[in-house]
A = this chain, B = another copy of it.
Amino acid sequence: MSIFASFCQAVFGFLISLLLVYNLRMSSFLPKSIQVLIEEFGRLPGIGPKSAQRLAMHLLHSPESRTHQLAEAVGGLKNGLQFCNVCWNIAEESLCRLCSNPARNQRQICVVEEILDVVAIEKTLEYKGVYHVLHGTLSPVDGIGPEQIKIEALMERVRAFSGHETIKTDVAQPTSKVEVILATNPGLEGETTAMYLMRLLKPLGVKITRIARGLPVGGDLDYADELTLTKAMQGRMDYV
């Protein structure tokens, strides 16, 4: 029993020392400026301590001009940037390039979660309307309610078209029906947000559509999950 006790003690001691060693900040063996950069990189999303180390080492081995370019790009990121007054997309003036473009149909509003979703849809070169960036989704678990995202701004925008309020954009076309395309992601939170918006928008009498959910191009029926396949069947269209 005494052997077992001393063995347990040794194992315990070993584990404690392992923890201690682990908690020692590894970067204390490196010069201060590298430590600072590793910490800064480590704060970015999706970059763990190991990646942060590797990035710092990469920059250490790259020429001075490269690090200066990166530093300037980071430092100058927000210079002259603001959110568009109408659609909350990122903009260089009070109106973004899309909202101020008279060729765009201002009566077709595509509601997306993030700025990058605008980029994704723009890449298709198919959509000719404008956007509304929510900057998030409803997520009661994370304490994100309708007030935390740009829902009220969207409602004001749509109400303006319905004649309840004056129109804010100079370039609105007074013809054709207003359409709100709900293009939030087809996940739990995106669907919840889309459903919430639909209930808010319905009384205003605008046309409300939701982006199609179905099989991705190049996808495989055999590998699709049941929900996607159900949506694909429900959303089937006449084949012309």
On A, residues with C-beta under 8 Å from B are: 21, 24, 26-27, 29-34, 36-37, 39-41, 43-47, 51, 53-60, 64, 66-81, 90-92, 97, 114-116, 118-120, 122-125
> Please, which residues of chain B bring their CB within 8 A of the CB of A54?
45-46, 116
> Please, which residues of chain B bring their CB within 8 A of the CB of A81?
31, 33-34, 60
Given contacts A26-B123, A44-B70, A53-B119, 19 further A-B contacts (CB under 8 A): A21-B123, A26-B119, A29-B123, A31-B90, A33-B73, A37-B73, A40-B69, A40-B73, A44-B55, A46-B51, A46-B54, A53-B116, A57-B114, A57-B116, A60-B77, A60-B81, A67-B75, A72-B75, A75-B75
Known contacts A53-B116, A57-B114: A30-B74 contact under CB 8 Å: no
Output the residue of A21, A58, A75 with the most chain B CB within 10 A: A75
When the two chains form their complex, are residues A70 and B74 in contact, meaning their CB atoms are under 8 A apart?
yes
The closest CB in chain B to the CB of A56 belongs to B77
18 A-B contacts, Cβ less than 8 Å apart? A33-B76, A33-B78, A33-B80, A33-B81, A36-B73, A37-B77, A40-B69, A40-B70, A40-B73, A46-B55, A54-B116, A56-B77, A57-B114, A59-B74, A60-B77, A60-B115, A67-B78, A71-B75
Chain B: minimal CB distance from A126 (Å): 9
> Please, which residues of chain B bring their CB within 8 A of the CB of A41?
70
> Please, which residues of chain B bring their CB within 8 A of the CB of A36?
73, 76
A27 to B119, CA, bound (A): 7
Known contacts A33-B81, A125-B21: A115-B76 contact under CB 8 Å: no
Chain B: minimal CB distance from A131 (Å): 11
A183 to B47, CA, bound (A): 27
> Please, which residues of chain B bring their CB within 8 A of the CB of A77?
33-34, 37, 56, 59-60, 67
Known contacts A69-B40, A75-B71: A30-B119 contact under CB 8 Å: yes
> Please, which residues of chain B bring their CB within 8 A of the CB of A21?
123-125
A114 to B60, CA, bound (A): 12
> Please, which residues of chain B bring their CB within 8 A of the CB of A120?
26
When the two chains form their complex, are residues A115 and B73 in contact, meaning their CB atoms are under 8 A apart?
no
